């Protein structure tokens, strides 16, 4: 019995260490459902300056390198407001699903990026990115509410959100880390 318990503890410790090693950016993700809307909260840390982090999240056309983003174009820029058209594509149950949206972003340099869908394929999408610098790292905090406009059952949509969104934030953290070293001169 002691041997089985020892093996179990060894395997559990190995799994825990493997999970920590696979999450180098301290990614935290929470998804809660309230009626037809989903509250998505995420955060991750990247070893870049807050200026580099802000340049990363406001590279709207560079968002095409994120998983699921097929196209992203700046439509207009007026003061600190930017309108962006996006086309996303994911697969749900082997079916390709395309989602178009026009978003308005409000930039507060090196602090906050607010966004709201003006038109698109979801009923509601609004949220923010907040940046917090701390000892050689910047923490990205994402909060959004989304209400899908879909004929798919809400359980399928919830499964999609929980599984795809984690992959997207992991990829964003990795890209932010890589792009930090090639950030604009304005941050140097």
| Residue 125 domain flag | yes
Domain that holds residue 75: 27-187
User: The pTM is what?
Assistant: 0.82
Q: Count the domains in the chain.
A: 1
- Alpha helix ranges (H) inside 22-153: 50-57
Average model confidence (pLDDT) for the chain? 82
Give the domain CATH number at 69.
Answer: 3.30.530.20
Is residue 172 included in any domain, yes or no? yes
Kindly state whether residue 15 falls inside one of the protein's structural domains: no
Taking a C-beta distance cutoff of 8 angstroms, is the pair 125, 146 a contact? yes
Residues 130/133/139/145 CA torsion (nearest 10 deg): -10
The average pLDDT across 79-86 equals: 96
Query: Is 5 a domain residue?
Result: no
How much is the pLDDT for 133? 94
Average pLDDT over residues 108-115: 97
Q: What is the predicted pLDDT for the residue at 165?
A: 85
Q: Please tell me which residue, 153 or 49, carries the higher pLDDT value.
A: 49
Give pLDDT, residue 82. Answer: 97
**Averaged over 128-143, what is the pLDDT?**
95
pLDDT at 31 over 60: yes
Of 91-95, 111-115, 174-178, minimum mean pLDDT range: 91-95
184 or 178, higher pLDDT: 178
Residue 156 lies in a domain: yes
Give me the pLDDT at residue 13, please: 37
- 147 pLDDT more than 70: yes
What percentage of the chain carries pLDDT values higher than 90? 49
Asked whether residue 20 is domain-assigned, the answer is no
In a domain, 12, yes or no: no
Can you give 81-110 as a three-state secondary structure string? EEEEEEEEEEEECCEEEEEEEEEEEEEECC
* pLDDT for the residue 95: 74
- pLDDT of residue 155 exceeding 80, the answer is no
Instruction: For residue 2, tell me if it sits in a domain.
Output: no
Q: What is the pLDDT of residue 178?
A: 85
Measure the CA–CA gap between 83 and 118, rounded to whole angstroms.
Answer: 9
């Amino acid at each position: 019995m002691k041997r089985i318990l020892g093996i179990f503890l060894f395997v559990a410790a190995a799994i825990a260490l493997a999970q920590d090693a696979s999450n180098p950016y301290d990614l935290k993700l929470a998804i809660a459902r309230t009626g037809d809307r989903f509250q998505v909260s995420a955060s991750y840390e990247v070893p870049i300056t807050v200026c580099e982090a802000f340049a990363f999240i406001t590279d709207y056309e560079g968002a095409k390198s994120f998983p699921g983003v097929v196209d992203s174009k700046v439509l207009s820029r007026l003061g600190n407001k930017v309108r962006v058209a996006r086309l996303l594509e994911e697969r749900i149950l082997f079916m390709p699903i395309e989602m178009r949206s026009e978003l308005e972003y409000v930039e507060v340099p090196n602090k906050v990026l607010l966004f709201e869908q003006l038109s698109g394929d979801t009923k509601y999408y609004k949220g923010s990115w907040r940046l917090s610098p701390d000892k050689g790292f910047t923490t990205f905090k994402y909060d959004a509410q989304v209400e899908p406009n879909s004929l798919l059952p809400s359980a399928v949509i919830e499964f999609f959100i929980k599984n795809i969104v984690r992959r997207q934030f992991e990829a964003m953290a990795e890209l932010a880390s890589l792009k930090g070293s090639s950030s604009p001169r304005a941050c140097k």
